[in-house]
Structures are given as structure tokens and as C-alpha cells.
Amino acid sequence: MILNLDGLIPATVLPMHADGSIDEAALRSYIGWVADQGPVALAINVDTGEGPHLTHDEKVRVLRVVREVTDLPIVAGLAGPSTDAAVRQARDFKAAGADALLVFPIPAYLSEPLDVRVPVSYHEAIADVGLPMILFQLQPALAGLNYEPDTLRAMAAVEGVVAIKEASFDARRFVDTARLIAQLPRPITLLTGNDNFILESFMLGATGALIGFGAVMTREQVDMIDAWNAGRIDDAVALGRRVQRLADVVFARPVGDYRVRLKECLRILGVLEAAHVRRPLMPLGDAERAHLTSVLIEVGLLREASR
């Protein structure tokens, strides 16, 4: 399979029952819905899909279910936290149908200054499994960190690294990372993970978007990226305004609630039957549900009579 990351890669939600168990029937239906919207790949078991709250066996099962539903490339979230655990995960995820790995920052990175040998050796061990790897620069508010330039260069030099997801939510840092990537001796795909400036990320150098907001309003984002790439700037900007309006509401503070907000949007739109999340995540209150409904109407995804 040729791994094409230039386009929208939705980080999908994971439908659940009220007790927090995985709703496989709803997962199959939802993945089918997302895949039909035109993304180039799907990101599974990442933060949007409550990956940090899943067991290893659950992650493997989710990957197998998704693989049965779609032929789209699957990017699996991988989160260690030890090197041995990460290698085991990579092998099992590959066997379950993953085509690439999004390698999350791990607690061992949380040292200042970070010894560059730590992330480099970690990625080198994972690379031996044989799947393409996507580096991940993630804002600290979502349990990540921002790398120093020398560290990022060293990580990008690891064989098997094909892309970086830049999700600092900081436009200045994104520009700096884009410049660094452009100066590397081999091409690395720049993916935006910045749900707070999606279209603008493409204006600043991204060629793909691996984002949680891709879980909803998927078709509009695919069309927006297509319009931008085709030079139909006015169309891209018009779609971008609609997309960003809802994204800004979904990713409002506290940003961690974006997961349940996405599920609530999908429930309101009739894509999911319920918006259950796994504890300790919490459901939304009635006032915030009503606000999401009004914004879904405002951006043209829902009719007034559907309220």
C-alpha cells in the first residue's frame, strides 16, 4: 500500500455503551460513515478515540473491527510508555491491520532538558517493526510536549519516520516547525493537528490534517482541502469559516472536553445514538448540548426543525 497522507485523516471517536464498554455495532456504522466522506486515511485509538483509556486488547480489537469495515489506510496511535511495551504494541497493531503508527510523546520525555537519545532510541526500536511512523508534537494541555529544534531534527532522521503531526495549537511554533521540516535532507510530510487553525495550517505549509475535528464535519473538511489544493481559494475560505466556527466551539476550554463534544455533535446529527464516554471523562450538561445544537444549525449541518 502506498501511504498517502496528503489530505484529511480524521482521528475517529469510539462509540461506547453507557457502562463504558465498546459499542462495536455503532463503531462499524460510524467508521463506514466517516470512510464514505472522502478522507485519505483514518487515525484509530488516538486521543479523540479515548485511546489513553483503553486496554491493549481493546485497541487491538478496535483495529480489527475498523480493518473489517474499510480498506482505507489505518494510522494507529501508539503510546508506550516503555520501549518494550511500544514494540509489543507496534507488532500487535501491525498484525491487526494498522498501516502506520502515530507515536505519542511518553512520560520519559518530560525532563528538561530532554536527552535527545531518549526519543531517538525509542523511535528506532519501534521502526524495527516495519511500519511507517508519524512523529507527534502535542500541546502540554493534552499531555504532550513541544520539542526543541535539535531534538526534532534527530527524531526526523530515524529511518521509518515519514511525517510529523504538529499539534502545539501555536501558529508561531507551527511555522517554525514547517521551516525546520523544509530544511531536512529528506522529505517529511507536515500534518497539522491544530484544530484551532485548520485551513490556515495549509496556508502555512501543511499538506495533510490529522485532526480530532475530522471526526465530524468530515465532508466539509475534505472539500475545503480539495478546494485549497485546486486553487479555488474563495471556496476554501468559505468552507474554512464554517469548519472553524464549529471547531472553535468543540475545542473551547476545557480542551479535554472536545472528545465528548464531538460525540454529542455526532449524536445530534444522528450519526451516533449516544455520546457516552469512558470515566473519568464526563458527559456534557444540557446547556452545552443546546449550544452545540445551535452552532450545528448555524454552520448548516442541522435544520432548525431538528432541534
* 143 belongs to a structural domain: yes
Task: For 114-156, write each residue's pLDDT tens digit.
Answer: 999 999 999 999 999 999 999 999 988 888 899 999 999 999 9
CATH, residue 62: 3.20.20.70
* 239 belongs to a structural domain: no
* 282 belongs to a structural domain: no
d(CA 65, CA 45): 12
**CA-only gyration radius of the chain, Å:** 18
Using a pLDDT cut of 90, give the percent of the chain over it.
Answer: 94
Beta bridge partners of 192: 166, 209
* 91 belongs to a structural domain: yes
Task: For 51-68, write each residue's pLDDT tens digit.
Answer: 999 999 999 999 999 999
Cell of 153: 531534527
Domain residue limits at 29: 8-230
d(CA 44, CA 63): 7
Q: Say what the pLDDT of residue 305 is.
A: 54
Q: Say what the pLDDT of residue 1 is.
A: 63
* 307 belongs to a structural domain: no
* CA 189 to chain CA mean position, Å: 15
* 122 belongs to a structural domain: yes
Upstream peptide bond of 140 is cis (omega within 30 degrees of 0): no
Structural domains counted in the chain: 1
* 269 belongs to a structural domain: no
* 191 belongs to a structural domain: yes
Task: For 66-87, write each residue's pLDDT tens digit.
Answer: 999 999 999 999 999 999 999 9
